[in-house]
Amino acid sequence: MHIIRRPRAEDAAAIHELSAACDVAALGVSDTTLGDIEEVLAEPKLDLDQDAWLAHDADGRLLAWAWAVGPGDSDLVEIEVSVRPGVDGLAERLWPVVLERARELARERGHDTATVDVVAYRADETKRALAKKYGFEPSTSFSRMRIDFDGPVEPPAEPPGLTLHTGLSDEVRREAHRVQQEGFADHYGFVPSDYDLWFERRQQQSANDWSQLILARIDGRPAAMVHGNDQFVIDQQCGYVATLAVLPEFRGRGLGKLLLRRAFAADAARGRKGTILHVDSNNVTPALGLYESAGMRPVLTIDVWRRKI
């Protein structure tokens, strides 16, 4: 007997244990932190009373969790269905429910169809098979890149005209938000968000640290930004570059590599073992080459599967 109910913030620890079990089955290690789960539960666009589900057995053990969220006003809907390894029948029960909610979310935003994305580790054969079963096809992939440090890292020299500013002021954060929105406008799956939503999402993340947001100005003009956080500190003792963006008019000047190397130096100074980031294989800029030239290497592949409904 499976008992379906809606999740609450206090369910984070149980959901984390379930997610870790799924990770171990696919990867051999857990790749999910409690903070990751808390971030999903606090997502401003996720209505826990309509968009998320938990499934328990009769003894109260969590067997599955699922959700659907439209991150913006476009027809894009992101979904997740996680079922404890060895449990039969729940995936087939939850996938149709989540897909129907994805369809409803798109309609609520005025769209006739929904573009639905689900993420799966390349090594997770079970989830990949389910995505294929429900009509999804591989759309893009993300490589997790990592660099390890064996001591202090020298920060790069700053060229004339460049000034760097931390995200501790509202002015800097607003300019960094504009750089991020314009810099990512042509990227896969990008959904525009206004400043208030962008700020709220990051403010609710336990891993967020505004001092790790750096805005680069060239002759006083916003040109590039990097935003690091503590997402991978607990489990891997690494810093994380969540966002690195350069405005199109300032590309080709080495700003991306400069900010990246500055993030390396800052993480090493904090005593971290390395720095991690994710890069889209379909990135419209030569980002992968940039990261490899800075000494990073791929350590994990994550695929995005997509379906139109």
pTM value?
0.92
Of 296, 222, 300, 235, whose CA–CA distance to 263 is shortest?
296
Question: What domains does the chain contain, in order, with CATH numbers?
Answer: 3-135 (3.40.630.30), 146-301 (3.40.630.30)
User: How confident is the model at residue 288, as a pLDDT?
Assistant: 84
Q: 125-133 and 12-27 are packed helices; what angle lies between their axes, rounded to 10 degrees?
A: 100
Tell me: pLDDT of 284 over 80.
Answer: no
CA–chain centroid gap for 110, Å, is 26
Q: pLDDT band for position 285 (50/70/90)?
A: low
Q: What's phi and psi for 266, nearest 5 deg?
A: -65, -40
Strand 274-280 vs strand 76-83: parallel, antiparallel, or unpaired? unpaired
Q: How confident is the model at residue 3 (pLDDT cuts 50, 70, 90)?
A: confident
Q: Are 55 and 81 in contact (CB under 8 A)?
A: no
Cα distance between the two ends of the chain: 30
Helices (H), 66-194: 90-108, 125-133, 170-183
